[in-house]
Amino acid sequence: MIAFAHSNIRFALLLVLVWPGVGSLSGQDASIDSEQLYQQYCAACHGKNMEGAQYSPLIKESWIYGIDRKRMYNTIMYGITGTDMIAWSTALSKSEINALTDYILVKQDTEPNQAAELPHQVETQDYLLNVETLVSEGFRSSPWSIVFVDERRALLTERRGGLRWLVDGELDPRPIEGVLATTQYGDSGMLGMALDPDYDENGWVYIGYVHPLGDGSSKDTPAMTRVIRGRVDGHSWVDQEDIFRLPDELHFTQGARWGCRLYFDNDGYLFFSIGDLRRNDEVQLLSKPGGKLYRIFPDGSIPPDNPYFGRTGAIEAIYSIGNRHIQGIDQHPVTGEIWATDHGPLGGDELNIIEKGKNYGWPVISYGLNYDGSEVTKMTHQKGMEQPIKYWTPSPALSALEFYTGDRFPKWKNQAFVGALAFEEIKRLTIEGHEVVSEEVFFKGIGRIRDIKTGFDGSIYVVINNPHAVVRLTPLNGR
């Protein structure tokens, strides 16, 4: 419900901004940079232009909790119980909260900033890149994962429950019908995707998505990450099977950080991730699903050499624990090790080598802070818990991970490419052994990097959110 009409908001803000002495109504300190505050604390969840990111936009017509100044201030100050909206009073002063309140309210009657224009070229240390925008419109919701079926065709998942064809670099306007409904709130939805290692023979496509026990329209509907497989017959999703499904009693309401990145390794095992589900007290428990990486056979059966196979009370598909929110998985093309990016809170994003049965520490050890600036833990080390290969603070919000194995960029062979959501960038990591020896950032400030894949042609394909787009990167003039 909207508590005040926009005309009333304009009048109240006019008083605050121009009436002598009325600035004290908000207690705002003129020295506070409210835009910088917003970008630091709010943009990762609500978008740098308030267009929405992991959570809802802040320029909209319908406000459940009200848009009058007092309610907006109280929402920021005290949070909203049962949601990811924390009480920022633990991290920000009253003056800073006042500044944020006024900044958000002023923006309600301002045209939102245009999304960054996609460039035609990008300079890197080794190559001048040609940036070809393949798709920039026609999506029904934000694209999440891309997999290449052959030299001409790729499949795309859309977060709010879409599966689409990309053919010869163009988005097929006709969606693939028959995919089950997913949840419609927060960071849930249709997520990661992978092709069966024998796809050319069996046609299996695997998808990780958040399955509701009800219709999925409410955050109060119990839901859980599930892995399914099916086949795409033209524009129809057929032959669906559940590959990983937890009992109904392990479905949760108002969850977050559901995962789910999928990856088939060279031995044919399917790895997939489930985030901490906003239930930190359960991450270290083998009987609970959150904060784990899983490994199964393509038909959903459990490998008998999984670390908790046969253990009473354990989810036998678990491969590692203490992983807050794995958003990228790939196998090193030389060593065969499984590497993963772990999306931290306010800092503490990690790059890890995932080994069977290892504990990666969340939330017992961490280099990050809670979103309100308070401590997650006082410890960064603990016996029996792994240290990251590298960690980043503040948090770039790491997403996809791809080791480059194509031929178009010979200088980048076997190097790691990591996407970032909040920092809106691609990181190119040069890795020697178990050490990141250099890091180059490029493609900065253009949009949230959701997925990175090497195509059959050796080009690098990037899926972007806000603006929603798929682009192809190739070297320009042989550089």
pLDDT in tens, 269-278: 999 999 999 9
Domains of the chain: 6-107 (1.10.760.10), 121-475 (2.120.10.30)
Confidence of residue 68 (pLDDT cuts 50, 70, 90): low
What is 99-143 written as a DSSP string? HHHHHHHHHTTSPPPPPPPPPSEEE-SS-EEEEEEEESS--SS-E
SS3 238: strand
pLDDT, residue 281, reads 95
List phi, psi (to 5°) of 90: -80, -15
Q: Residue range 367-391: average pLDDT? A: 92
More confident residue, 252 or 327: 327
| Model pLDDT for residues 185-235, shown as the tens digit of each residue | 778 999 999 999 999 999 999 999 999 997 766 778 899 999 999 999 999
CB-based contact 283:361 (threshold 8 Å): no
Q: Is the dihedral of CA 10, 15, 16, 17 positive or negative?
A: positive
SS3 18: helix
Number of C-alpha atoms within 13 angstroms, CB side, residue 237? 23
More confident residue, 229 or 113: 229
- Which among 14, 229, 191 has a CA at the least distance from the CA of 102? 14
| Whether the model pTM is above 0.85 | no
List phi, psi (to 5°) of 70: -65, -45
